[in-house]
Amino acid sequence: MNIPLAITGDRPTGPLHLGHYVGSLLNRVQLQHTHQLTVLIADFQALTDNMGNPQKVRANIVELMKDYLAVGLDPSKVRFVLQSAVPELFSLTCYLQNLVSVGQLERNPTVRSELTARGFERGIPAGFLCYPVSQAADIIGLGGGMVPVGDDQLPMMELCNDLVRKLNTMGANLPLANTLLSSTPRLIGVDGKGKMSKSAGNAIALGCSALELEQAIKMAYTDPQHLKVSDPGRVEGNVVFEYLSAFDPNTAEVEELKAHYQRGGLGDMALKRRLLGVMEATLSPIRERRVQVSDSEALDILAKGTYEARAGAQQVLEHVLSCIGVAQLPPPPLSGVVTVRDEYGGCFPEDNLSPPDVQPLDRGGCGN
Ligand code: ATP
Ligand code: MG
């Protein structure tokens, strides 16, 4: 039986947060039972705006793996992949870049708002502008299928399918990706200013402590005009109500609370106490499972999935290159003796290689 495919991913720029949980993770937990799900840790993509801070990106790879396992993604069902370790995806990206114009990339509304948020207006890293193409290459190279994402990814999905259609006119016969949005496709940040995001510093992490949760909820933006309990308050854009709508299982009571708040007579503190209870009930099991996962367990699972994924990505790449019409050399001869050029320009068989006094590579301070 052919199991349908699904793929999604996250940037290792910080721990996963409540926005990921309702925007994509809950859908992933469901999909793992019906689909062959691939979850990509997009560390190359994270470097497109974090090239000055590679240690942050590297350190968050294992944190993401722990978050995945803690929310209930099952490693016997899900394939976890580290993007930078699948170079076939970058080959594919380079070819796909020729099917997109710079203008098209510049018009991408998500990229535009991210450029503003990161202050990149005057020095846009070329890789950052092109990351939607790299994301399309990830989806195509790893098989495509259902893609559970938040609504900031809609322009990326449009570009991905645009590229799939272009490759199909060359005979690639690739499936279009299917975007899967949740009922909360964009969770607002605690500051009430926009999407909860790792890079904006307005997130509540899934692994946060009870104290951190309490402090974040205390600071959450409500209605600045709602000064006295008796004042009528605004529900729209009010972070506490946004979170109650997304997480409180008692939807009828939340609707009553909204009406009460709008009439006046309901204080922010009472609402925040309720929210704290709801969020603690959601996060405490995640927090408990998270501390049980060791670094080595998490990284072994990631390595296994990554090596499996490479073989498939290589096949897709070869197929796409042959459809584009890229020159392909015959495979290397199977003589068993590989010749290696030595530093003086001569050749000698690898079998007889006895390098004199090999010194470790000087990594010039980059090997930390
Ligand atoms: P960064 O700030 O580094 O871009 P991020 O918080 O936006 O990080 P990503 O790794 O870019 O997180 O996004 C991973 C997935 O989670 C994407 O599918 C994205 O749409 C979804 N997602 C991220 N933030 C939210 C949110 N606030 N609400 C709903 N979905 C979200
Ligand atoms: Mg993002």
Nearest residue (by CA) to ligand 1, atom 21, is 150
**What are the b/e assignments for 257-294, b being 16+ CB within 10 Å?**
bbeebeeeebbbeebbebbbebbeebbeebbebbeebe
**Residue 24, ligand 1, Cβ within 6 A:** yes
Radius of gyration of the chain (CA): 24
CA of 364 from ligand 2 middle (Å) equals 32
Lowest mean pLDDT among 245-254, 272-281, 326-335, 338-347: 338-347
**Residue 199, ligand 1, Cβ within 6 A:** yes
C-alpha dihedral (134, 138, 144, 147), degrees to nearest 10: -80
| Residues present in the chain in total | 368
Confidence of residue 364 (pLDDT cuts 50, 70, 90): very low
At residue 342, does pLDDT exceed 80?
A: no
Q: What is the mean pLDDT of the chain?
A: 91
Res 1: pLDDT: 67
CA of 20 from ligand 1 middle (Å) equals 6
State both tokens at 310. 């490479």
CA of 11 from ligand 1 middle (Å) equals 8
Q: Note the pLDDT tens digit of each residue in 22-53.
A: 999 999 999 999 999 999 999 999 999 999 99
Q: How far apart are CA 312 and CA 40, in angstroms?
A: 14
State both tokens at 153. 């990814």
Q: Note the pLDDT tens digit of each residue in 192-232.
A: 999 999 989 999 999 999 999 999 999 999 999 999 999 99
Q: How far apart are CA 317 and CA 142, in angstroms?
A: 10
Q: How far apart are CA 139 and CA 177, in angstroms?
A: 8
Closest CA to 280 of 220, 218, 206: 206
Cβ atoms within 10 Å of 306's Cβ, excluding its own: 19
Nearest residue (by CA) to ligand 1, atom 16, is 20
**Residue 10, ligand 1, Cβ within 6 A:** yes
- 10-to-159, 262, 280, 338 alpha-carbon distances in Å: 18, 37, 24, 40
